[in-house]
Amino acid sequence: MTTSNATRGGVGNARAGANFALIKYWGKADAVLNTPAVGSISITLDTLYTDTEIVFDATLARDELVLNGKRRDEDVDKISACLDLLRKPRGVTTRARVTSRNNFPTGAGLASSASGFAALVRAAEVALGLNLTPRERSIVARQGSGSAARSIFGGFVEMYAGTASDGSDSFAEPLLAADAWPLEVVIAVTAKGEKEIGSRSGMTRSATSSPYYPAWVAGQTADLATARVAIAARDFAALADVAEHNCLKMHAAAMATQPPLVYWNGATVECLHAVRRLRADGVPVFFTIDAGPQVKAVCEPGARSRVEAVLRDVPGVLDLLTSRLGPGAEPT
Ligand code: PMV
């Protein structure tokens, strides 16, 4: 059934929203299983997403990827490894043509790999006629990109690091629905190119050479617990404090890596100060920054226009993107 779907040339389409972490993932427990060294908590976005179509085609000798209209042969191995997790146990050998489009800048610290692999898993599931559980989807997506395990779900999401040697307890689960606490996001884009050092190699380098890496890992359980309580209580001030603290610890560990990982530019730092000044003035907003120079400002809905106005005026800000919290990855 499954195999014949594939050899007949099954087609699947899916959309997945980008996510970013409020309590970050930085460091791997196992490079092959791609299990994280620490748990994380994220929010999934509704207006930044990846649309993916996958066509299993018996005439193909290898998988193919077209991303944003360009062939990306250099990324095919990662796609193939992820698809093999679905193909191999079912005896499927058919190769696939994957056509994917991000509606936001790719590879610049805006979680394109998260939405990309989540959409890939959902689209492949449809094309192969599978019926995976949400947990199975999350586990397969994790092996494509750690943060992709979270984009399977909408709203607030928690990712567990897990301890099992086969990675079976390393998956994400929903924590709170998007409409239960409708926070909003303003992203200050301060550079548009793809980043030089991807998170995968960056975090591996941090683990072996940053003197702050052990402290980063040791503090995560407490930060996760604080954030969980803050989210359950919709306590914005508490979430703001722990999210900024966690973000700065991740970047401190990254910066102390050898050779160093400085993901920020000048505008990143100016945005960070602008957000802190706003909060000191009583505006409910906090920042977070991933492995790139963009600043994500999370705010209560009533504060969004003020946050946008302030960040737009920061020298070096090229563009603002806004979003609400969005749904999990779904077939389209
Ligand atoms: O999933 P990856 O390998 O792209 O790593 C994500 C790392 C950060 O974005 C910096 C943090 C996170 O939790 O998303």
Bridge partners (DSSP) listed for residue 30: 35
pLDDT above 90 coverage of the chain, percent: 90
CB 236 less than 6 A from any atom of ligand 1: no
State pLDDT tens for residues 17-39.
999 999 999 999 999 999 999 99
297: nearest Cα among 306, 305, 307, 309: 307
CB 25 less than 6 A from any atom of ligand 1: yes
Ligand 1: centre distance to CA 46 (Å): 18
Position 5 pLDDT exceeds 60: no
State pLDDT tens for residues 278-316.
999 999 999 999 999 999 999 999 999 999 999 999 999
Q: 107 with 196: CB under 8 angstroms?
A: no
CB 23 less than 6 A from any atom of ligand 1: no
If one residue of 290, 295, 296 were mutated to test the ligand 1 pocket, choosing by the most ligand atoms within 8 A of its CB, it would be 290
Atom of ligand 1 nearest to the CA of 109: 9
CB 199 less than 6 A from any atom of ligand 1: yes
> C-alpha dihedral over 298, 301, 306, 307, to 10 degrees?
10
Q: What pLDDT is recorded for position 9?
A: 64
What gap in Å lies between CA 29 and CA 21, rounded to an integer? Answer: 18
If one residue of 110, 115, 199 were mutated to test the ligand 1 pocket, choosing by the most ligand atoms within 8 A of its CB, it would be 199
CB 206 less than 6 A from any atom of ligand 1: no
CB 21 less than 6 A from any atom of ligand 1: yes
CB 290 less than 6 A from any atom of ligand 1: yes
Atom of ligand 1 nearest to the CA of 159: 13
pLDDT band per the 50, 70, 90 thresholds, residue 6? very low
pLDDT band per the 50, 70, 90 thresholds, residue 2? very low
CB 115 less than 6 A from any atom of ligand 1: no
State pLDDT tens for residues 193-208.
766 788 888 999 999 9
State pLDDT tens for residues 226-281.
999 999 999 999 999 999 999 999 999 999 999 999 999 999 999 999 999 999 99
Q: Which is higher by pLDDT, 178 or 107?
A: 178
What gap in Å lies between CA 42 and CA 150, rounded to an integer? Answer: 7
Which residues contact residue 252 at a Cβ distance below 8 angstroms, ignoring those fewer than 6 apart?
Answer: 212, 216
CB 143 less than 6 A from any atom of ligand 1: no
Ligand 1: centre distance to CA 199 (Å): 6
CB 158 less than 6 A from any atom of ligand 1: no
> To 5 degrees, how large is the angle CA 145–CA 288–CA 159?
40
> C-alpha dihedral over 87, 88, 91, 92, to 10 degrees?
30
